[in-house]
């Protein structure tokens, strides 16, 4: 199952409010890059469609097309400070061949 941390959910809700997108789901459309890693930059607020996989987590709806189900299985979306003052969504995904579990993983769940 796909998971969303509290930090990510808070930021998604803030972004939805700022963009006047409340009530819409966050749509993910990841894809494999040529090197086998997974790219996640295709995401945005959207209506829930009939065939979507829908996950309700931390008070938000995440949706994606059925073809992404295996790609996102067991992945976790977080929102972290990469460098001082530079925040970003990250995906901890065991389906990505570059994934390396860390001791910190799961702390913000």
Per-residue confidence (pLDDT) for residue 104, from 0 to 100: 59
Query: Closest Cα partner for 77 from 65, 89, 88?
Result: 89
As a whole number, mean pLDDT of residues 21-41 equals 90
The per-residue DSSP string of 32-92 comes to E-TTS-EE---EEEEPPPTT-EEEEETTEEEEE-GGGHHHHTT-EEEEEEEETTEEEEEEE
106: CB partners within 8 A, 6+ apart: 76
CATH topology of domain 3-92: Hypothetical Protein Aq_1857; Chain: A; (2.60.300)
As a whole number, mean pLDDT of residues 17-38 equals 91
pLDDT, the chain, mean: 89
pTM for this predicted structure: 0.83
As a whole number, mean pLDDT of residues 20-44 equals 91
Query: Closest Cα partner for 90 from 24, 37, 34, 17?
Result: 37
Per-residue confidence (pLDDT) for residue 103, from 0 to 100: 61
Per-residue confidence (pLDDT) for residue 37, from 0 to 100: 85
Per-residue confidence (pLDDT) for residue 57, from 0 to 100: 86
- Any bridge partners for residue 46, and if so which? 25
**Sheet architecture: strand order including 25-28:** 43-46, 25-28, 60-64, 53-57
Three-state SS at 105: coil
- Model confidence over 60-104: pLDDT tens digits? 999 999 999 989 999 999 999 988 888 999 999 998 887 887 765
């Amino acid at each position: 199952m796909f998971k969303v941390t509290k930090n990510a959910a808070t930021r998604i809700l803030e972004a939805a409010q700022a963009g006047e997108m409340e009530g819409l789901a966050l749509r993910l459309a990841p894809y494999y890059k040529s090197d086998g890693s997974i790219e996640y930059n295709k995401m945005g607020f959207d209506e829930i469609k009939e065939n979507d996989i829908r996950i309700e987590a931390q008070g938000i709806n995440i949706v994606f097309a059925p073809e992404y189900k295996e790609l996102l299985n067991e992945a976790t979306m977080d929102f972290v400070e990469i460098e001082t003052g530079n925040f970003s969504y990250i995906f901890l995904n065991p389906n990505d061949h570059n994934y390396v579990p860390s001791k910190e993983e799961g702390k913000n769940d």
